[in-house]
Chain A
Amino acid sequence: MFLLLVPALAVIVTLLLVPLLWLAWQSVYHDGFTLENYRRILSEDVYWHSFLQTFRIAFIVTAATILLGYPVAYVAASLPRRWSIVVLAMVVLPFWTSVLVRAYAWLILLQRTGIINSILKSLGLIDTPLILVNNEFGTVIATVHILLPFMVLPLYATMQKIPAELTMAGASLGGTPAHVFLRVFLPLSLPGIIAGSVLVFVLTLGFYITPELLGGGRTFMVSMLVSRNVELYNEWGAASSISVVLLACVFAIFWAASRLIPVERLMGMR
């Protein structure tokens, strides 16, 4: 039986685990053991600012996907199956378009000479174009768009399993719709929120193309720091130490989340 696992395991070990460990090793070993790369991360402001900005963006994106995704998942879960599939298809469809294409699409919509500014201008609502992109704002919008399915799908999976009888019971006991939602439905959907949040948050931490294209050079996320360090120091270690720190952050987030809900649930296995 376990033989069936061997091919997949071999791929993961040779293509993921070995390079990862090799890179991690490089970050502490360069002509002898050294913590120089980590000293740099701790002492230079650049790193601190980048990590701060990256976590801030991840936080905003997560909050925005909850606000936008929760109602969608709610509707999808309460509709008859036929219609819920239509709603979910609309959520997932953009998912099959390349991230690069979607970044450029947002550029066409949001830039100074873009569609949104042209419409607002022709309606006489603004005189000077709004600065919607080439900053953190544009980056956040495009990232939310890309990651929305990762929030909606776990939410939907959780909500779908909440028995309708429970909310009915709440109503029959005299609870107002708002009260029933807040006391019965919301707490039961919490595991979905946590699972979706962890996914979105962690994925945002590694975003590269979107901030590179829509950030206007000001949005300097950790992944960009990694590529900058390859160029600047010509050494794998200087770059891999950053990803080791980021990876440690991700593990910490997973650990914290697993204290709230079981890991198998986080992975969508239940």
Chain B
Amino acid sequence: MRYQHSKVTLAVACAGATLMATSAFAEQITFISQGGAYQEAQTKAILDPVAEKLGITINQDSSPDAWPVIKTQGATGKPVWDVVDTPTKDCIRGGEQGLIEKLDFSKIPNAEKMPEKYKTPYSAAYEFYSSVLAYNKSKFGDNPPQSWADFWDVKKFPGTRALRNHPLATLEAALLADGVAPDKIYPIDVDRAFKKLEEIKPHITVWWTSGGQSAQLLSDGEVDMEMAWNGRVSAVQKEGGDVGFTFNQGFLQNTSLCILKNAPNLETAIKFVNEALAPEIQANLPLEIDYGPGNPEAFKTGKIPAERAAELPSSPDNAAKQVLISTEWWSSAEGEAVQKRWAEFIQKP
């Protein structure tokens, strides 16, 4: 996105050179996240405090799509990166392909109280965002759509609609609209979901591709309701847009921390992961940006005000209303096949 591959590679090479030159002196790790406002926010909230507390140096880099680099570094057998903040899917398939370390959770006590579904053998949840149902307030007044069944009900809720041009979370929404219980969504009944999507397809004005586009559609009043990422909707609200959203039937998604196999600073990396998941540290994140902490214990620290917690995707109350996206299902062969089928579905007139 923001960084070209060549630039990232160059930065990685430089980081590698620095690493070799200084590793004898102080403990350090190379940490990769996704750049932009998000990386700036976590630098303030998490990385700087952790570096100070552990007395280590954290060399940062950004890669909007870490997976190709993880693969390349794994192929050489001598990775340069230590810890990556990336979609959980990368950690899982990386682990299966021998590119990601299996985490020894006995050395990560801060993750102990995290729900099991927030962890995999290779990763632990780092931060949460959500795909929610957002709507134009002035259009619907006191009776806005509150569920995907409402979104699908074009008679009771007339108006223009948008969905993301991607099957993830969209298929889940179709199933909820079709009356599937939230805990029965996985494994996804793909045919049933696409059948339900065919129903709403003629009423979709835009299949959006970028988060910025979804925000523009909402703030210009081009669509009356859509699925969008909660951070994008609250940004529109902050700019004075007359829009609302509900966490009800939202889809909780997260990125995770994982460590590269044979990471150059393995011991320090594990110490870092443990500290980055500490409730006190995690509680800093939502004070900087509209994302929820990966460790729900953060809500018990008293650092996050109640009204702020109500706005966050992963606060216990909001999480209870939502469905946690199953990364395992989406990284399965079935999930991959759906992504191919999606293009056909969109193209078909």
Across the interface, do A216 and B68 meet the contact criterion of CB distance under 8 Å?
no
Across the interface, do A232 and B339 meet the contact criterion of CB distance under 8 Å?
yes
Q: Answer whether residue B165 sits at the interface, using C-beta atoms and an 8 A cutoff.
A: yes
Across the interface, do A228 and B343 meet the contact criterion of CB distance under 8 Å?
yes
Residues of B within 8 A of A131 (CB): 205
Residues of A within 8 A of B157 (CB): none
- What CA separation (Å) do A234 and B209 show in the bound complex? 19
Residues of A within 8 A of B336 (CB): 232
Q: Given the known inter-chain contacts A46-B347, A50-B347, A112-B160, please indicate yes or no for A218 contacting B222, CB distance below 8 A.
A: no
Residues of A within 8 A of B347 (CB): 45-46, 49-50, 53, 218, 220
- What CA separation (Å) do A111 and B340 show in the bound complex? 30
Residues of A within 8 A of B209 (CB): 212, 217
A216 nearest CB neighbor, chain B only: B206
A220 in complex: contacting residue of B68, B205, B343, CB < 8 Å: B343
CB distance from B331 to the nearest CB of A (A): 12
Residues of B within 8 A of A107 (CB): 216
A217 in complex: contacting residue of B67, B68, B165, B216, CB < 8 Å: B165
Q: Answer whether residue A34 sits at the interface, using C-beta atoms and an 8 A cutoff.
A: no
Q: Answer whether residue B220 sits at the interface, using C-beta atoms and an 8 A cutoff.
A: yes
Residues of A within 8 A of B213 (CB): 213
Across the interface, do B220 and A218 meet the contact criterion of CB distance under 8 Å?
no
Chain A, interface residues (CB within 8 Å), range:
20 to 34
A112 in complex: contacting residue of B165, B205, B340, CB < 8 Å: B205
B68 nearest CB neighbor, chain A only: A234
B160 nearest CB neighbor, chain A only: A112
Across the interface, do A217 and B220 meet the contact criterion of CB distance under 8 Å?
no
B349 nearest CB neighbor, chain A only: A218
- What CA separation (Å) do A143 and B241 show in the bound complex? 31
CB distance from B72 to the nearest CB of A (A): 11
Residues of A within 8 A of B67 (CB): 234
Q: Given the known inter-chain contacts A216-B206, A218-B207, A234-B67, please indicate yes or no for A113 contacting B222, CB distance below 8 A.
A: yes
CB distance from B180 to the nearest CB of A (A): 25
Across the interface, do B222 and A220 meet the contact criterion of CB distance under 8 Å?
no
Across the interface, do A218 and B346 meet the contact criterion of CB distance under 8 Å?
yes
Contact digits for A228-239, partner B, Cβ 8 Å, 1 yes 0 no: 100010100000
Q: Answer whether residue A139 sits at the interface, using C-beta atoms and an 8 A cutoff.
A: no
B205 in complex: contacting residue of A50, A216, A228, A232, CB < 8 Å: A216
Q: Answer whether residue B221 sits at the interface, using C-beta atoms and an 8 A cutoff.
A: yes
Across the interface, do B206 and A46 meet the contact criterion of CB distance under 8 Å?
no
Q: Answer whether residue B239 sits at the interface, using C-beta atoms and an 8 A cutoff.
A: no
Across the interface, do B221 and A113 meet the contact criterion of CB distance under 8 Å?
yes
324-348 of chain B: CB within 8 A of chain A: 336, 339-340, 343-344, 346-347
Across the interface, do A217 and B222 meet the contact criterion of CB distance under 8 Å?
no
CB distance from A30 to the nearest CB of B (A): 13
Q: Given the known inter-chain contacts A216-B206, A216-B207, please indicate yes or no for A112 contacting B222, CB distance below 8 A.
A: yes
Across the interface, do A134 and B343 meet the contact criterion of CB distance under 8 Å?
no
- What CA separation (Å) do A112 and B218 show in the bound complex? 12
149-171 of chain B: CB within 8 A of chain A: 160, 165
Across the interface, do B205 and A46 meet the contact criterion of CB distance under 8 Å?
no
Q: Answer whether residue B105 sits at the interface, using C-beta atoms and an 8 A cutoff.
A: no
Residues of A within 8 A of B207 (CB): 216-218
Q: Answer whether residue B118 sits at the interface, using C-beta atoms and an 8 A cutoff.
A: no
Residues of A within 8 A of B343 (CB): 46, 220, 225, 228
Contact digits for A208-248, partner B, Cβ 8 Å, 1 yes 0 no: 00001100111010000100100010100000000000000
A50 nearest CB neighbor, chain B only: B347
177-225 of chain B: CB within 8 A of chain A: 205-209, 213, 216, 220-222
Contact digits for A63-100, partner B, Cβ 8 Å, 1 yes 0 no: 00000000000000000000000000000000000000
CB distance from B186 to the nearest CB of A (A): 21
Residues of B within 8 A of A218 (CB): 207, 346-347
Residues of A within 8 A of B208 (CB): 217
A111 in complex: contacting residue of B68, B165, B222, B344, CB < 8 Å: B222
- What CA separation (Å) do A225 and B346 show in the bound complex? 12
Across the interface, do B344 and A220 meet the contact criterion of CB distance under 8 Å?
no
- What CA separation (Å) do A255 and B257 show in the bound complex? 53
Q: Given the known inter-chain contacts A111-B222, A113-B220, please indicate yes or no for A45 contacting B206, CB distance below 8 A.
A: no
Residues of A within 8 A of B344 (CB): 45-46
- A220-B346, A234-B67 known, 13 other contacts, Cβ within 8 Å: A49-B347, A50-B347, A111-B220, A112-B205, A134-B205, A134-B206, A216-B207, A217-B165, A217-B207, A217-B209, A218-B346, A220-B347, A232-B339
A-B pairs, top 7 by smallest CB distance, nearest first, are A217-B207, A217-B165, A216-B206, A46-B343, A49-B347, A113-B221, A134-B206
29 CB contacts below 8 A, A to B, read A44-B340, A45-B347, A46-B340, A46-B343, A46-B344, A49-B347, A50-B347, A107-B216, A111-B220, A112-B205, A112-B221, A112-B222, A113-B222, A134-B205, A134-B206, A213-B213, A216-B205, A216-B207, A217-B165, A217-B208, A217-B209, A217-B346, A218-B207, A220-B343, A220-B346, A225-B343, A232-B339, A232-B340, A234-B71
Residues in A lying within 8 Å of B, measured CB to CB: 44-46, 49-50, 53, 107, 111-113, 131, 134, 212-213, 216-218, 220, 225, 228, 232, 234
